[in-house]
Amino acid sequence: PKVDLTSAEPDLRALRELGQLEVVRGLSRATGLSGPYAEEVLLRAGIPKDRACSSLTEEELERLSHAISGLLEQITRGKLEPRVVIDGGEWVDVVPVPFLRYSGLEQISFDSMNEAVDAYFTRMEEEEGLRKARQELEREIEKLKKVLKTQEEALSRFKKKSELFYAIGNAIYARLNELNFLLEYLRELREEKGSWELVERELEALRARGPPFSWVIGLDGKGPSLRLRLEGLDVEMDLRASAQENASRYYEEAKKARRKAEGALRALEKTRKKLEKLELEMAELEKAPSEAEVITGPEREAARPEETRARRAWYESFRWFRSSDGILVVAGKDAHTNELLVKRYAGKGDLLIHAEIPGAPFVLIKAGGREVPARTLEEAAQMAIAYSRAWKYGLGQATAICFKPEQAKKIGPHGEKMPKGAFYILGKKEYIRKVKPLIAIGIRRHEDKAELLVGPVGAVSSASEAYVIVGPGDESAGEVLKKALEILGRALGPFSVGRQELERAKALIPYGRGRLVGGPFGGGHDR
């Protein structure tokens, strides 16, 4: 049966024809309402969703009809209150009006349904990117675990082999006289008998004489070699060599095995460190976005060239740039500088930006109470996202949050103390969506020297004569910078860049890797 929802009071009696089918499923089938909407109208009508369709009374059908028409009226003719619903940190739905079924969950309100839907699906794309990153990490972790297991087995094998050969060498040395006598006796017996096969036939009778003959297990004339049992160990000795030479051979084999064990241990430790690093990345990927994680990008950060003034400005200890609107923007580089930036330098009237993805720095806009233009917000957000794991995982876009310094707390929602460089963000946050993880490398010339500008695309483009755009990729920072300079050189003509300036620029390429994605473009700097 199909129910017409365009009428003022939909007739739902046909629902009862669906028999024992749960009413939530029957309602979806009969009306075309999606599952969440069917559940919502049943909740508004006070009808359990698992009731059988055939059990619905006339009064319940009437209540359900009122609930459907009321919800449709609210959506089509009433005032929309679009919102995204969040359950345990996960964005689970986007709805045009408040839903009873979501009344106990966190919700973010939007000015329009289009904006809410756009935000929701942007978030879904970001989460899909993170899901793929997690899957890739899981594959790498499993691969390394297998390598680690193989290396542990090899290490154990080499150690046991070394210990065994040392023990055999020691057992031989402890009986040098007896074993030399035995070896010489058997060699003379072979001269007398004419072959090792004939000597082997004499072994049973010889064993009856006691040690050292009773130590013999067998003899192989092809070697020729003698098999013995010494101190519970199976020992094979070369019949052509002395006892000392046999012991030395075992000691040499023991040393070889020990060297292999040492090599296996070094390889194992490298693998273990790689595994620990990947597992740490995985743990950070699993963190809730409301907790500000610390940046774990390139540790090496070259300083800007020393200037003639006596003292550097405070922000030169951080990553920083002037926005295209001339506002100072400063970013943390690690846990220590994140902590310092937020606690010491973020003041009243400033704004903080953080990417909703692990491995992002805090970015401070030193607004000092001024209204911050949208361009500066976007540039600061791009700084946060470019130096987050969005770059490392090659995500096409990500979302950043903007909040006031006083919202950054060191105590979490359950009373837990946040680790160094991390903060819990309390209260309402503004979202900056669909930010691409990109940076620009630009050139600004001063007479015969050139300064390299590295930072958000908008800021670099407004301050440079020409620039290229760099995105996530697999080329080394050195290779990216080399290509960028070649392209900019063709665009501007010859220029000179100091070695220290090159090192500084190279260190500013996120995670030490990337690729050119556009340029050259003309900048906004007056030549």
pLDDT of 286 reads 67
Which stretch of 162-171, 243-252, 376-385, 482-491 has the lowest confidence by average pLDDT? 482-491
- Indicate if 393 and 457 belong to the same structural domain: no
- Looking at residues 339-356, what average pLDDT do you find? 92
Question: Which value, in Å, is the radius of gyration of the alpha carbons in the chain?
Answer: 38
The Cα 214–Cα 232 span in angstroms is 13
> Domain ends where: 246, 264, 280?
246
- Indicate if 443 and 431 belong to the same structural domain: no
- Looking at residues 111-119, what average pLDDT do you find? 87
Structural domain contains residue 517:
yes
Q: What is the DSSP secondary-structure string of 230-284?
A: ETTEEEEEETTS-HHHHHHHHHHHHHHHHHHHHHHHHHHHHHHHHHHHHHHHHHH
Q: Is the pLDDT assigned to residue 307 strictly greater than 60?
A: no
**Contacts of residue 308, Cβ cutoff 8 Å, sequence gap at least 6:** none
- Indicate if 19 and 50 belong to the same structural domain: yes
Confidence label for 524 from pLDDT (cuts 50, 70 and 90): low
The pLDDT tens digits for 31-42 are 888 889 999 999
- Indicate if 502 and 516 belong to the same structural domain: yes
The pLDDT tens digits for 151-207 are 999 999 999 999 999 999 999 999 999 999 999 999 999 999 889 989 988 888 899
Q: Residue 123 class from Cβ within 10 Å (0-12 exposed, 13-18 middle, 19+ buried)? A: buried
- Looking at residues 79-83, what average pLDDT do you find? 90
Query: Any idea which residue has 């074993």 for tokens?
Result: 179
- Residue 56 vs residue 291, higher pLDDT: 56
- Indicate if 429 and 511 belong to the same structural domain: no
- Looking at residues 287-312, what average pLDDT do you find? 37
**Contacts of residue 176, Cβ cutoff 8 Å, sequence gap at least 6:** 243, 244, 247
Confidence label for 458 from pLDDT (cuts 50, 70 and 90): very high
Helices marked H in 77-202? 113-173, 176-193, 196-201
Q: Check which CATH number belongs to the domain holding 27 and give it.
A: 1.10.8.50
pLDDT of 309 reads 37
Confidence label for 289 from pLDDT (cuts 50, 70 and 90): very low
Structural domain contains residue 311:
no
- Indicate if 349 and 388 belong to the same structural domain: yes
- Indicate if 448 and 472 belong to the same structural domain: yes
- Token pair listed for 230: 């010494």
> Domain ends where: 44, 78, 112?
78
Structural domain contains residue 50:
yes
pTM of the predicted structure, to 2 decimals: 0.59
The CA distances from residue 390 to 124, 315, 399, in Å, are 14, 25, 10
- Nearest CA among 404, 443, 407, 434 for reference residue 423: 407
- Token pair listed for 267: 């390889």
pLDDT of 7 reads 64
- Token pair listed for 210: 């006691």
The pLDDT tens digits for 189-201 are 999 988 998 998 8
Q: State what percent of residues in the chain have pLDDT above 90.
A: 58
The Cα 29–Cα 333 span in angstroms is 55
- Indicate if 414 and 469 belong to the same structural domain: no
- Indicate if 344 and 238 belong to the same structural domain: no
- Residue 447 vs residue 451, higher pLDDT: 451
Judge contact between 363 and 324, C-beta under 8 A: no
Q: Please provide the average confidence, as pLDDT, over all residues in the chain.
A: 87
- Token pair listed for 279: 């597992």
pLDDT of 38 reads 93
The Cα 38–Cα 21 span in angstroms is 14
Q: Which amino acid is at 458?
A: G
- Indicate if 202 and 242 belong to the same structural domain: yes
pLDDT of 473 reads 94
Number of folded domains that form the chain: 4
- Looking at residues 104-112, what average pLDDT do you find? 88
Structural domain contains residue 97:
no
Structural domain contains residue 95:
no
Domain that holds residue 466: 439-522
The Cα 268–Cα 261 span in angstroms is 10
pLDDT of 506 reads 92
User: Hey, CA dihedral for 420, 422, 425, 429, is it positive or negative?
Assistant: positive
Query: Any idea which residue has 């030193």 for tokens?
Result: 366
CA count, 13 A, side-chain hemisphere, 461: 16
pLDDT of 6 reads 64
pLDDT of 149 reads 94
pLDDT of 237 reads 95
Q: What is the DSSP secondary-structure string of 301-359?
A: -PPPPPPSSSS--GGGGSEEEE-TTS-EEEE--SHHHHHHIIIII--TT-EEEEESSSS
The CA distances from residue 430 to 10, 101, 282, 424, in Å, are 41, 26, 27, 15
- Indicate if 62 and 9 belong to the same structural domain: yes
Structural domain contains residue 169:
no
pLDDT of 40 reads 94
> Domain ends where: 48, 78, 108?
78
Upstream peptide bond of 212 is cis (omega within 30 degrees of 0):
yes
Confidence label for 448 from pLDDT (cuts 50, 70 and 90): low
The pLDDT tens digits for 83-100 are 999 988 788 999 999 999
Structural domain contains residue 122:
no
- Indicate if 418 and 342 belong to the same structural domain: yes
pLDDT of 407 reads 93
Structural domain contains residue 197:
yes
